[in-house]
A and B are shown apart, each in its own frame.
Chain A
Amino acid sequence: MSASIRSGLKVVCFRKLLIPLQQVPSRCYKKGLSKDLRIQYKSRLTVGPEPDRHRSEFINWNYDSEVYSFGKRLGEDLNDDILKKVFLHRSYIEREKKKIQELGIAVGTSGLDVDHNEQLAKSGEQLASNYVLIYLRNAFPNYFEEGIRSIHEYLMSEDVLCNIGRHLGIPELIMCDDFPLRESTIVTTLMAFIGALEQEKGKERAHLFVRDFILPQLIGKDINEMWNVVNPMGLLTAVLHFQKRGLPEPRLLWEGASSTLMSVYHIGIYSDQKLIGKAPGETAQIAEEMAARDALKRLCQTQESRPALLLGKLSENLKLDEKKVNISAKDIIEQFSPKESTASTSSKSIFGIFKGNHSLNKV
């Protein structure tokens, strides 16, 4: 045993001789390294993760140049004063004022009587919301007004706008009281930027920004799922009646593996002996409902095979009709069953079609 160890050592020693002279070998075995790492790991566990800190607390932070490059990054040639106003929140000014008061300095001499971004945000949000609605109405001229409003609601929701703001690099530039930032603060700042664009460069430039940054969020999204229709067959019946076409007739097109758990049914919907929609489903009822949805999609021309939205370079010469208002599903249903509109308490009322209450008086 000992002989074999000795011979092994000999080989090791021999190998050390073979190492070229230029290479500096390790001078120690680093005995304490693993122990140190273990201590570091355990102490990190006890102390907890490092708290989030604003970028300005680190070195190499130049607010002026960051704000300047923000404008340049987006290709907008705004002056620094208005850009700084975009990022200035009311809470920040109030906090600073309080600090100065505590120090005993008169507020008037402190140079803190600057404007915050609320007014800009308000005008920016109005512009963006308005433009999104107009664009959607022109992009989907045959879609229901309720559906357009659902898409608009999605695009102007806090999640989507906050996501856009984060990816544009807004959070690091915001001057406000709370940290970590609330989502609403980021959204307000983004809207304030749109408001600033409108104020400085005009409406068209602000519209371009909305078209380039907010509307592309629809790419890859199923717009038909945004508006929840509870009874699609009821709505389809009303629409066909409105168009003076035959009432929908569901027919079984194809069924497979019907006596097994994995059965599949394909149901088509006919109107005046023409196929207007078809869909598969696990049961005949589900397939019928999905087929009604499919028929509605085709009637509204929002099916998956529709042409892509006109964005970017394609939309350069886009002419939008600003006064366009799409047809409302509610009106169509009222025309279909005027009697039931008075007695809306009955359970069979066709008004049960919609889940959300979209009133046209909102905007």
Chain B
Amino acid sequence: MANNRVLQWATFARTWWIFDANHQCHIKSAKRIALYLQGKHKPIYHPLSDIGDHVVVINTAGISMRNDFWRKWKYNHHTGYAGGHSVTSAWRLHELDQTKVVEKSVYATLPGNLLRRRMMRRLHLFTDDNVPDDILQNVTDQIRQVTVVPRLIQEYTQEELDAMPKLFDWPDDYEIEFKRRKEDDEIKKYLK
């Protein structure tokens, strides 16, 4: 029955997927990643069977949020002790740990059963695209991104910019490029 054994092996093998989170909404991404972690894309799916795949998420530092959500989206935490409640803005959490926002949204998307922790262990998060070789060589396929990555103004060549119709000129002191806030002492304290 060697043939049946091999077919079964191939059916239950865990595939490794890669997902580029650059310029992706973390909530929509989490919905898509959770499908693969649960194995819902497989015909043999059953909520009680542990047949989910591995997902490697790269560029979690580059996730995006629409409108003012970096400032308005809050993460609550309670230590369990009196006065232990804390509220952290998304931007603040992202500065403390650049994989945390994706991790939290995937965790929240997965069903709250006993398999959740095991499925989370198959989620490999990396802030940039430097992935260790022993993880990268397992990867077979990629998950399609949820939104089209926009082309930044810095990526246009001068010729393309010149050819583009221009209605007005920006003032000289207007900063088009995205700049990070300067790290103040308070954030440095958390980073250590």
Of B3-11, B40-48, B64-72, B73-81, the stretch lying at the interface with chain A is B3-11
- A259 and B3 contact, CB distance less than 8 A: no
- B9 and A281 contact, CB distance less than 8 A: yes
Q: Which residues of B contact A256 (CB under 8 A)?
A: 13-16, 138, 140
**25 A-B pairs whose Cβ atoms sit less than 8 Å apart in the complex:** A222-B1, A222-B3, A224-B3, A225-B2, A254-B140, A255-B140, A256-B13, A256-B138, A256-B140, A257-B14, A257-B15, A257-B54, A259-B137, A260-B138, A262-B13, A263-B13, A264-B10, A280-B6, A280-B9, A280-B10, A282-B6, A286-B6, A290-B2, A290-B3, A293-B3
A217 vs chain B, min Cβ distance (A): 18
- Of all chain B residues, the one with the shortest Cβ separation from A281 is B6
A91 at the interface (CB under 8 A from B): no
Q: Which residues of B contact A225 (CB under 8 A)?
A: 1-3
- B13 and A257 contact, CB distance less than 8 A: yes
A86 at the interface (CB under 8 A from B): no
- A259 and B7 contact, CB distance less than 8 A: no
Once bound together, how far apart are the Cα atoms of A281 and B134, in whole Å?
Answer: 21
**Residues of A in contact, count (CB < 8 Å):** 22
Q: Which residues of B contact A224 (CB under 8 A)?
A: 3
Once bound together, how far apart are the Cα atoms of A222 and B13, in whole Å?
Answer: 23
B133 vs chain A, min Cβ distance (A): 8
Once bound together, how far apart are the Cα atoms of A14 and B192, in whole Å?
Answer: 80
Q: Which residues of A contact B7 (CB under 8 A)?
A: 280
A97 at the interface (CB under 8 A from B): no
A154 vs chain B, min Cβ distance (A): 14
Q: Which residues of B contact A280 (CB under 8 A)?
A: 6-7, 9-10, 13
- B137 and A264 contact, CB distance less than 8 A: no
- B6 and A257 contact, CB distance less than 8 A: no
Once bound together, how far apart are the Cα atoms of A258 and B16, in whole Å?
Answer: 10
A116 at the interface (CB under 8 A from B): no
- B9 and A257 contact, CB distance less than 8 A: no
A328 vs chain B, min Cβ distance (A): 23
